Structure 1
Amino acid sequence: MSPEGKKLLNIVILGFGFMFMFTAFQTCGNIEQTVLKSFNNTEFHGSGYTSMAIIYGVFSASNMIAPSVVTVIGPQLSMFFSGLLYSGYIAMFIYPYTWSFYTASVLVGVGAAVLWTAQGNVLAINSTDGTIGRNSGIFWALLQFSLFFGNLYIYCAWHGHVHITDMDRQTVFISLTVISLVGCFLFFLIRKPDPEPAPPEAAEVLLQAESTDSLWSRALDAFGECAGVRRGSVGSPPSAPSGLELTFYSGVYGTCIGAMTRFGQDAKSLIGISGICIGIGEILGGGVFGMLNKCRSFGRNPVVLLGLVTHYTAFFLIFLNIASDAPIAPEEGTHLQAYITPSVGVALLCSFLLGLGDSCFNTQLLSIIGFTFRDNSAPAFAVFKFIQSIMAALAFFYSNYLLLHWQLLILVLAGFLGTVTFFLAEWRAESSRRESDYDSI
């Protein structure tokens, strides 16, 4: 197999591994608040929103050490061991205790930082400037198939269920644990790409650098560079709204739909259909917009602007269609009505738009970070995930308390600021590329 074919195969395997893992984990995040409300145990006092806030809070802090972990043990083992922590978190729901629930939340937060830093590293070392957009799109599309399969299973398993029994919960989470473990072992099929030949002088400089600088100090230097100390904040501010939107579509919106008693007895199973619609939007966006990166004249900015318009449309329709107390409603749901007669069709259309808009932002963020920091990608992706996860933790925390319309207002403001800062980052990246082309001539 040619070197380019081997790299493409690695990207496909990477995508399938994440698809299996996140079929389990994203489905778990989508349903856990609803499941825990139905859990009949007076000794359990956990909240799904609080758990996810812990996960993303620890995730953000752990990004400081993630580049060093990936450098020391390699991206393949990093993804495998991190995946085992994800599987442990999912298995905990088979019979949850408060202490195990929150302990597993901390551990999976650490694993998430290492997992996503390693993923970014594998994506970068298997890509070139000409293929990074294509590979980002392929990976993103395969990853988002996880939303389709996992949520289809939830719909079939919970169809017609007004209350989630212990047997329902255990059957679902045993299945999800097995699916997650399959994804972990797929990472062992990834092969190291053939190294590009380097001139002797470069190899000598690299050896000197290895002998004089510690892995930790180099990671911190690169981390600071990516954060904007020397080259401008390419990944940091634009990734903030993606963290807030991640919280909303992966945990809050499904809970809102399940709490709408006006949707009838199938409200709980509609959480699965909503997740499928989000996945269709993500897959469509990942496939189309990732490929558009190959066209330099088209650029990334129009795709990001389309994502902003798509999200604003979804937020407005959700504001009209979903009751304001739906995110924090008790197990029996909310009987309130928003500004229009609640419509299942509108709710599922909004799910699709949320997924489509999210893919617009994320494919372009992955592309610009991989393009700008291809030679030092692990710390760059760590910064991206650091900002994204700390904002997700904040959003899951306030989701315990804020009504829906306040959450939507925060998303509107963050989306606008994130789009503006992405435009600035894209301008800097293109300016840097043009300067590099000029220097090479």
Structure 2
Amino acid sequence: MTSPRDINSGTLNVIFMSVCFLFLFSADGTLQNMLKIIISSIHDDNKDFQVDGFNVLALIYLSFGLSLWLGPSAVNIIGLRTSMTVASLFFTLNNISLVFEKEWLLYGAAVIGGVGAGLLWTAEGKYLVLSSEPNLVSQNIGIFWTFYSSSSFLGNIFTYYKLQGKEYIEQESRTLIICFLSTLSALATILFAFLRPIKKNTTQINQLKQINPCKELKKTWRVFTTKEMLVLSIVFLYTGLQQAFNSGIYSPCIGFTLQFVNRAKELVPLSGILVGVGQILGGCWQMLQVHLSKLSCSRRIIITSGIMAHLLSFGLVYINIPSSAVFGNTSDEAIVKSNIYLALFCSLLLGFGDGCLNTQNFSIIAEIFPEESAQSCALYKFIKAVFVAVGFSVSSYLNLHCQLKSLALMAISALISFIYIDINVVKSHNKMNKT
């Protein structure tokens, strides 16, 4: 029987790891939000500098998606604490590479950062599960996501104050911001190195040792070819595209809108903060599912509210931000006079929809594939990461209004697909209960 001391020890592990993630993603999330703006300002100083910020982000996520397939094997070989420490170091190297303003270094560091993300998220899930007693898994997941969701504040707040009143981000400001964010991720690396070892759970560890990589790949393929997973792939595809838009495309569009005059650049981190607030609110909306657990449509209510928030935000962005803003600084006028408060409200809506999507995706996966949770979650992360990369890649070529139209169509398709699968899940459960 587990003693209170053991439970507290496991929860303490999760809290310590969550603090590490808080510092790491305070840096990484802020930099991703600012990357297009920072790289554009480097180009303003050096016309020979030909790096595109969206292509760098696409490379990071493509590398991340591919590394997810090798992540479990690597983590098993080098261990959980070492995996997260090395991954955090890779994040730090990726961040600090911006200081040197070298094209080859930025692209090389992007690949390293993506590999680090694959290692990090694989090790995080395993560490959290092994640190949690079965009756405390939900509690510990809640603790982790609370810290993780709060990571959008620290780095963005510092950047916001640093950019106040600036129409242009000069090298001194760029360097200071990058060094501050790199310091946060370096601190996370040091903290990861001091992660507490897990109290050995013989049963869980034996189960993990018995995993055969080849059998797991075959099992993953079987899960992918099920009708439910193929239909849900449309939802996961949209989740990736919208994540690219709200995490690294929309905020720079605000910063490139010169109709906001000398406030444009400072609005970028402020937008990132409000996206984070929206994500927290979307995660809190998950609590509604507990109160509506007796209703078969609880998931549909939450996912519909998230998609509706996205569709509203797409419409408002369409009329409030000029179509050319996705490519760089523009003095073009939007359909209506560009409004700062409307732009920031859209950031909040985008974050809220993202929070709804992510919580309900995990919810429906857990219900449909209870025996294949590892495989289904891996497929979800892989599909999402690949289409985050696609979202960033096309942003170098498609204007903002074309992107918004495409996102709106995909949002409607994702909503229909999710509702279709959710109705079938409820029907199958009702049949099982009757029998």
Name the residue aligned to 1:242: 239
User: Partners of 1:191 and 1:222 in 2: how far apart?
Assistant: 30
CA contact (8 A) 1:66 1:382 kept: no
CA contact (8 A) 1:15 1:138 kept: yes
CA shift, 1:288, in A, is 3.8
Whether 2:117 is the aligned partner of 1:109: answer no
Q: Which amino acid letter does the alignment assign opposite residue 106 of structure 1?
A: V
Q: Which amino acid letter does the alignment assign opposite residue 260 of structure 2?
A: F
Query: Aligned pair in 2 of structure 1 residues 352, 237: CA closer, same or farther (>3 Å)?
Result: same
CA shift, 1:136, in A, is 4.5
Secondary structure of the corresponding residue to residue 325 of structure 1: helix
CA shift, 1:132, in A, is 5.8
Name the residue aligned to 1:286: 283
User: Partners of 2:335 and 2:59 in 1: how far apart?
Assistant: 34
User: Partners of 2:152 and 2:243 in 1: how far apart?
Assistant: 13
Query: Aligned pair in 2 of structure 1 residues 411, 2: CA closer, same or farther (>3 Å)?
Result: farther
CA contact (8 A) 1:304 1:419 kept: yes
Deviations 1:367-418 (A, max 9, x none): 4445665665544332111100111111111100111111111111222222
**What TM-score do you get using the length of structure 2 for normalisation?**
0.87
Choose the corresponding residue for 1:164, options 166, 169, 179.
Answer: 169
Deviations 1:200-240 (A, max 9, x none): xxx7xx69x93xxx732133133224424497458643221
Choose the corresponding residue for 2:386, options 384, 387, 390.
Answer: 390
User: Partners of 1:306 and 1:151 in 2: how far apart?
Assistant: 27
Greater CA drift, 385-394 or 71-80: 71-80
User: Partners of 2:393 and 2:57 in 1: how far apart?
Assistant: 8
Name the residue aligned to 2:408: 412
CA contact (8 A) 1:326 1:404 kept: yes
User: Partners of 1:235 and 1:114 in 2: how far apart?
Assistant: 25
Greater CA drift, 280-289 or 424-433: 424-433
User: Partners of 1:368 and 1:401 in 2: how far apart?
Assistant: 34
CA contact (8 A) 2:81 2:195 kept: no
**What TM-score do you get using the length of structure 1 for normalisation?**
0.86
User: Partners of 2:85 and 2:118 in 1: how far apart?
Assistant: 13
Secondary structure of the corresponding residue to residue 162 of structure 1: coil
Secondary structure of the corresponding residue to residue 338 of structure 1: coil
Q: How does 1:16-31 map to 2 (within 5 A)?
A: 16-31=19-34
Greater CA drift, 272-281 or 422-431: 422-431
Deviations 1:251-296 (A, max 9, x none): 1111110011111201101101111111111122223425745863
Name the residue aligned to 1:263: 260
Q: How does 1:321-400 map to 2 (within 5 A)?
A: 321-329=320-328, 333-370=329-366, 377-400=373-396
Name the residue aligned to 1:44: 49
Q: Which amino acid letter does the alignment assign opposite residue 387 of structure 1?
A: I
Q: Which amino acid letter does the alignment assign opposite residue 301 of structure 1?
A: R
Structure 2 unmatched runs, 5+: none
User: Partners of 2:427 and 2:139 in 1: how far apart?
Assistant: 22
CA contact (8 A) 1:293 1:300 kept: no
CA shift, 1:146, in A, is 1.6
Secondary structure of the corresponding residue to residue 263 of structure 2: coil
Name the residue aligned to 2:318: 319
CA shift, 1:347, in A, is 0.4
Secondary structure of the corresponding residue to residue 157 of structure 1: helix
Question: Larger helix proportion, structure 1 or 2?
Answer: 2
> What is the count of residue pairs matched by the alignment?
427
Q: Which amino acid letter does the alignment assign opposite residue 278 of structure 1?
A: V
User: Partners of 1:345 and 1:294 in 2: how far apart?
Assistant: 33
Q: How does 1:70-81 map to 2 (within 5 A)?
A: 70-81=75-86
Whether 2:64 is the aligned partner of 1:66: answer no
Structure 1 unmatched runs, 5+: none
User: Partners of 1:402 and 1:131 in 2: how far apart?
Assistant: 46
Secondary structure of the corresponding residue to residue 337 of structure 1: coil
Secondary structure of the corresponding residue to residue 340 of structure 1: coil
CA contact (8 A) 1:307 1:356 kept: yes
Name the residue aligned to 1:32: 35
Q: Which amino acid letter does the alignment assign opposite residue 309 of structure 1?
A: M
Name the residue aligned to 1:97: 102
Could you list the structure 1 runs, at least 4 aligned residues long, displaced by more than 6 angstroms after superposition. 127-131, 431-439
CA contact (8 A) 1:138 1:290 kept: no
Name the residue aligned to 1:195: 201
Deviations 1:38-70 (A, max 9, x none): 112344321110101111122222222223223
Query: Aligned pair in 2 of structure 1 residues 412, 3: CA closer, same or farther (>3 Å)?
Result: farther
Identity of aligned residues (%): 31
The structure, 1 or 2, with the larger RCO (C-alpha pairs under 8 Å, 6+ apart) is 1
CA shift, 1:426, in A, is 3.9
CA contact (8 A) 2:302 2:356 kept: yes
CA shift, 1:36, in A, is 1.2
CA shift, 1:301, in A, is 2.4
CA contact (8 A) 1:136 1:366 kept: no
